[in-house]
Amino acid sequence: MPNRRPVAIAGPAAPELPVSANLPGPDVVSPCRFAQAINQDEVPVVKPILKSNKLLNVCYDIRGPVLEHAKRLEEEGHRIIKLNIGNLAPFGFDAPDEIIQDMILNLPGSSGYSDSKGVFAARKAIMHYTQQKGVQGVELDDIYIGNGASELIVMALQGLLNDGDEVLLPAPDYPLWTAGVSLAGGTPVHYVCDESNSWMPDLDDIRAKITPNTRALVVINPNNPTGALYSDELLLGLIEIARQHGLVIFADEVYDKIVYDGKTHTSMAALSEDVLTVTFNSLSKSYRSCGYRAGWMFISGLTGENRRHGKDYFEGLGILASMRLCPNVPGQYAIQTALGGYQSINDLILPSGRLYKQRELAYEMLTAIPGVSCVKPEAALYMFPRLDPKVYPIQNDQQFILDLLLAERVLLVQGTGFNWKTPDHFRVVFLPNVDDLADSINRIARFLDGYRKRHTA
């Protein structure tokens, strides 16, 4: 082996070094002269470690840069009112006790892997739930349990898309969808949801944006961030577009039980019997169990002989499900109890319920602010108010939201974080109790009053 010269290493004060036969100079070489004498070819070069180019167009501003500022303020001792994310537990919405007890009961048997698609009993409960929703033909093998619906959304996109494939997404959208398409190498193409028509998808705009590269249509119903709830007539129109163009439908229905004013939710899969539909749902919101990470997706629309048309895609999903070994097992044991037990969410969405009252208060207070308008949500946990650009000439809505945070200690998410193009909206989570919610909106109103005066002077 050839002789290698010693390399200087940064650290504590260096001890005296022995005489080197390869270095000229005195019997003892000083650290400075020793470093100068190193063969430069042997000095390791430290290169910047860069993130993958696959992440260049991947954004998730619900937990984005403004949140980092909020964390620093909290570390300094400030109390931040977080209206940025639909995390129910911090606002006093507890998971049903029977779910917790069932998870505890099954915990001793949860230390091993489950089937890669999920625990049998949980998938069977999901199958029964699809039948209750009027969906036909879903079998156990059509059901995949995941660590929340989020994991499954990314998995379903990864299994379908090649580089350059296009996916039609609503604008505004839940940003995980746009991020997931980009991460899978696809191209997000946003169709308009019309605020003047209660945030309903514009079918003509969808048709105009279909190209030979379009592979799928995403429908978020009930909608996050707008709280819109779609009629059967609209769903049938969306399904017909998918049918005509051979598109896969991705139906995000996580808020299907959080519906107000006596309205009901129709599962898209109940109407799309001959169109491949992948439906996503979760315990996170309806069962106040965000941290349990228990979600599922099921495949429908291809039965009998038609099933062979999706065979290759199904094989891909099976590979991806196996690669993550299995979803977390304790969370899976909450599913059967949740779907088969008392539906306590109903107590929260009735006129006497907490969520209903908080929605009413948030809507009344926000729309009372000059220059602020809002479509009243029919479902979910959010509002997406509009700021009149003539009153609030905002150029950078992320900076606007940061300024609000710094001034009033209220954390929101800007509208462009939901892939809405113009800087004139923001999303509000109406989860705090009525007193805290009123305080939060009063702070927003105070900030907007100051902004309005500064820009109209």
What is the CA 244 to chain-centroid distance, rounded? 29
The amino acid occupying position 161 is L
- The answer, yes or no, to whether the previous bond of 423 is cis (omega within 30 of 0) is no
* Count of other CB atoms within 10 angstroms of residue 347: 13
Please give the model's pTM, rounded to 2 decimal places: 0.88
Q: What is the pLDDT of residue 341?
A: 84
Residue 66 · residue 411 · CB < 8 Å: yes
Q: What is the pLDDT of residue 36?
A: 55
* Pairing between β-strand 413-414 and β-strand 410-411 as defined by DSSP bridges: unpaired
Q: What is the pLDDT of residue 310?
A: 87
- Residues 185-230 pLDDT 10s: 999 999 999 999 999 999 999 999 999 999 999 999 999 999 999 9
Stretches where the chain sits below pLDDT 50 are 1-29, 31, 34
**Distance separating alpha carbons of residues 214 and 248, to the nearest angstrom:** 10
Placement of tokens 């799928």 in the chain? 216
Q: Encoding tokens for residue 270? A: 């109940």
Three-class SS of the chain = CCCCCCCCCCCCCCCCCCCCCCCCCCCCCCHHHHHHCCCHHHCCCCCCCCCCHHHCCCCCHHHCHHHHHHHHHHHCCCCCEECCCCCCHHHCCCCCHHHHHHHHHHHHHCCCCCCCCCCHHHHHHHHHHHHHCCCCCCCHHHEEEECHHHHHHHHHHHHHCCCCCEEEEEECCCHHHHHHHHHCCCEEEEEEEEHHHCCEECHHHHHHCCCCCEEEEEEECCCCCCCCCCCHHHHHHHHHHHHHHCCEEEEECCCCCCECCCCCCCCHHHCCCCCCEEEEEECCCCCCCHHHCCEEEEEECCCHHHHHHHHHHHHHHHHHHHHCCCCCHHHHHHHHHHHHCCCCHHHHHCCCCHHHHHHHHHHHHHHCCCCEECCCCCECCEECCEECCCCCCCCCHHHHHHHHHHHHCEECEEHHHHCCCCCCEEEEECCCCHHHHHHHHHHHHHHHHHHHHHHHC
- The answer, yes or no, to whether the previous bond of 175 is cis (omega within 30 of 0) is no
Domains and CATH numbers, the chain: 58-90+347-456 (3.90.1150.10), 97-343 (3.40.640.10)
Residue 379 · residue 255 · CB < 8 Å: yes
- Residues 262-312 pLDDT 10s: 999 999 999 999 999 999 999 999 999 999 999 999 999 987 767 788 899
Residue 149 φ/ψ, nearest 5 degrees: -65, -25
Please give the order of strands across the beta sheet that includes 143-146. 143-146, 295-300, 277-282, 248-252, 214-220, 166-171, 187-194, 200-201
CA nearest 317: which of 385, 242, 250? 250
Placement of tokens 């992948």 in the chain? 278
Residue-wise burial string across 146-166, b where 16 or more C-beta atoms lie within 10 A, e elsewhere: bbbbbbbbbbbbbbbbeeebb
Q: What is the pLDDT of residue 39?
A: 60
What is the CA 242 to chain-centroid distance, rounded? 24
175-183 and 148-160 are packed helices; what angle lies between their axes, rounded to 10 degrees? 40
Residue 449 · residue 120 · CB < 8 Å: no
Cβ partners under 8 Å of residue 224, min gap 6: 86, 174, 252, 254, 255, 380, 381, 382
Rg of the chain in Å (alpha carbons): 27
Burial class of residue 402 in the structure, from the number of CB atoms within 10 Å of its CB (0-12 exposed, 13-18 middle, 19+ buried): middle
